[in-house]
Amino acid sequence: MDRKAVGGATAGLVLVALTAMTPAARADDLTGTPTPPVTSTSAGVAAEGTSTETTTVAETTTATGSVTTEPTTPAPTTTTTLATTPSTTPPTTTTPATTPPPTTTSPKPVPPPAVIARTASTLRIKDLQVRLKLVGRFTYAITGIYWYAVDHAVLAFQQSQRLPQSGVVDQRTWDRLRSLTATPTTVPRTAGAAQVRELQLRLRAIGAWRYAITGIYWSALDRSVLAFQQQRNLPQSGVVDARTWAALRALTYRPGTFDRYRFEAGLRPLLPAASSLDSRCRTGRVMCVDKATRTLTWVVDGRPRMVMWARFGRPGLETREGTFRVSRMYAYVISNLYFTPMPYSMFFSGGQAVHYSSNFARLGYASASHGCVNIADLEQLRSLFSQVRVGDKVVVRH
Residues classed as catalytic: 355, 372
CA distance 62 to 365: 178
CA distance 16 to 22: 10
Contact call for residues 362 and 376 (beta carbons, < 8 A): no
Question: Of 57, 59, 41, whose CA–CA distance to 49 is shortest?
Answer: 41
Side-chain-side CA neighbours of 151 within 13 Å: the count stands at 5
Task: Provide the 8-state DSSP code for 168.
Answer: S
Q: At what angle do helices 242-252 and 219-231 cross, to 10 degrees?
A: 80
Residues forming beta bridges with residue 113, ordered by sequence position: none
Contact call for residues 224 and 208 (beta carbons, < 8 A): yes
Contact call for residues 274 and 280 (beta carbons, < 8 A): no
Non-local CB neighbours of 55 within 8 Å, separated by 6+ positions = 18, 22, 71, 73, 74
**Is the four-CA dihedral 90, 96, 97, 101 of positive or negative sign?**
negative
